[in-house]
Amino acid sequence: MMIMMDGVVKRYNELIALDHFSFNAQDGEIVGLLGPNGCGKTTAINCMLSLLRFDSGDIEIFGRRVDSNNNDVKRRIGIVPQELAIFDKLNVYENIDFYCGLYIQNSKERKKLVEEAIDFVGLDKYRRFTPGKLSGGLKRRLNIACGIAHKPELLFMDEPTVAVDAQSRNFILEGVKKMKADGRTVIYTTHYLEEAEQLCDRMVIMDQGRNIAQGTVGQLQESISTQERVEVGFLTEDPGMKKRLSELPHVVKVTNKNDNYLIHFEKQENNLANLIKFIESNNLTYTDLTSERATLSDIFLELTGKELRD
């Protein structure tokens, strides 16, 4: 087990930021840590890294208690923090070299690692640029290079794609996939559900300092009542339609979406067929009819009562 965090409580005075929070990660997994603003993601990571003291509970990384003074353990961990941690006066190469130098003293080995990191984030053209001359996306890429240059086995990435352009975002996501292919373990926090779905082997959903659900997207989908959503729109308006649709078999609820209805169904083979039968037998004309499986966004909404995105 790469990370084991059990029943951790962390208070900031009156506020309970982590409320008996448990979390684990196996070797080689990408685990997503998802939750709304202020749910405790950064606090959880900082406790794992022993950058923050916690009030009770246990945390082990690489099978032992984390100690911020233990250099051997620190060398095996990489951090890409949410706030950019780069020096304005140093250029791209020098920034990466500085961070790599915290763990790798041998200058020949370090040079090779810095070159690999520059290549990995695609900043070769910018190696002599200071951060002030880089776009937001390129700064994020530099921030990542600083965190990964020493080739850590375990990498923490705290919202690495916030406010980046599409090209840098793809670069970052592809980079995370490459790290997994190299056998590294990645803990990835994000607000973006599509990213989590695309990248993560497993997800932990946090709300108010607690682990409220975990599993693969498939497992999380199974855990909620809505399994399929069908959007349907009709040519003519009928004030009683919402009620009639909600009386169809296996309907959890019906909501409005613009001029259409969104029917949330339980898992069942014949949901769409039943709806079409209803449409035909009532001689209705539909303008839209689409069906999709519950998404991570539905899972989040059902579990927390909140949208993930602000």
Ligand X SMILES: Nc1ncnc2c1ncn2[C@@H]1O[C@H](COP(=O)(O)OP(=O)(O)OP(=O)(O)O)[C@@H](O)[C@H]1O
Report the interface residues with ligand X, using CB under 6 A: 12, 15, 17, 35, 37-43, 82
Q: Is 241 helix (H, G, I), strand (E, B) or coil?
A: helix
Distance CA 184, CA 176 (A): 9
Q: What is the 3-state secondary structure (H, E, C) of 96-118?
A: HHHHHHCCCCCHHHHHHHHHHHH
Smallest distance, ligand X to C-beta of residue 127, A: 31
Smallest distance, ligand X to C-beta of residue 17, A: 4
Smallest distance, ligand X to C-beta of residue 52, A: 8
Smallest distance, ligand X to C-beta of residue 38, A: 4
Tokens representing 80 are: 């890409």
Smallest distance, ligand X to C-beta of residue 36, A: 7
Q: What is the 3-state secondary structure (H, E, C) of 155-168?
A: EEEECCCCCCCHHH
Nearer to ligand X, 209 or 263 (CB): 209
Nearer to ligand X, 3 or 17 (CB): 17
User: Is residue 55 within 8 Å of 19, Cβ to Cβ?
Assistant: no
Smallest distance, ligand X to C-beta of residue 15, A: 6
**Type of residue found at 250:** H
Smallest distance, ligand X to C-beta of residue 24, A: 19
**Type of residue found at 291:** S
Q: How many residues does the chain have?
A: 310
Nearer to ligand X, 140 or 264 (CB): 140
Nearer to ligand X, 17 or 155 (CB): 17
Nearer to ligand X, 175 or 209 (CB): 209
Angle at 246 between CA 243 and CA 247, to 5 degrees: 90
The number of C-alpha atoms within 13 Å of 10 and in the hemisphere containing its C-beta is: 27
Nearer to ligand X, 17 or 134 (CB): 17
Q: Identify the CA nearest to 217 among candidates 203, 229, 227, 199.
A: 203
User: Is residue 43 within 8 Å of 115, Cβ to Cβ?
Assistant: no
**Type of residue found at 50:** S
Nearer to ligand X, 140 or 150 (CB): 140
Nearer to ligand X, 82 or 274 (CB): 82
Smallest distance, ligand X to C-beta of residue 156, A: 12
Tokens representing 89 are: 């006066």
User: Is residue 103 within 8 Å of 74, Cβ to Cβ?
Assistant: yes
